[in-house]
Amino acid sequence: MEKNPYIELAECLLPEEMVEYFEVVKVDKTTETLDVTLEERDNGVDGYIPGQLRPNGFYQESIVRDYPVRGRKMSFHVKRRRWSDTATGKSVSRR
């Protein structure tokens, strides 16, 4: 499957660390805005052994407004992943 060219472009504009920890899942372009949606990758959390955590959805998204691009307001919609500790049932996130 070929990758959406807007997603490829968004990945080129983002810092390497963002692309390492987040995946660009959607880019919406209108005449006035450019909205990029990022979801945290399922890379686990430091300090936990593999299999100790299971993905448990996402926290409410944060919106980061950036400089306009070609006259369009630019926004990043960032979704941080939530994990559940299988031993305790407590919610865990990357800090």
Q: What is the largest CA-CA distance in the chain?
A: 50
pLDDT, position 64: 93
Closest listed residue to residue 78, CA positions, set 14, 5, 12: 14
Contact 39, 80 (CB under 8 A): no
Tokens, residue 7? 């997603």
CA gyration radius, the chain: 16
- pLDDT, one tens digit per residue, over 16-60 is 888 888 989 998 989 999 999 999 988 777 788 888 888 888 999
Decide if pLDDT at 78 tops 70. yes
17 contacts: CB under 8 Å, gap ≥ 6: none
Find the domain containing 50 and state its range.
5-92
pLDDT band for 1, please (50, 70, 90 cuts).
Answer: low
pLDDT band for 15, please (50, 70, 90 cuts).
Answer: confident
Domain count, the chain: 1
pTM for the full predicted model: 0.80
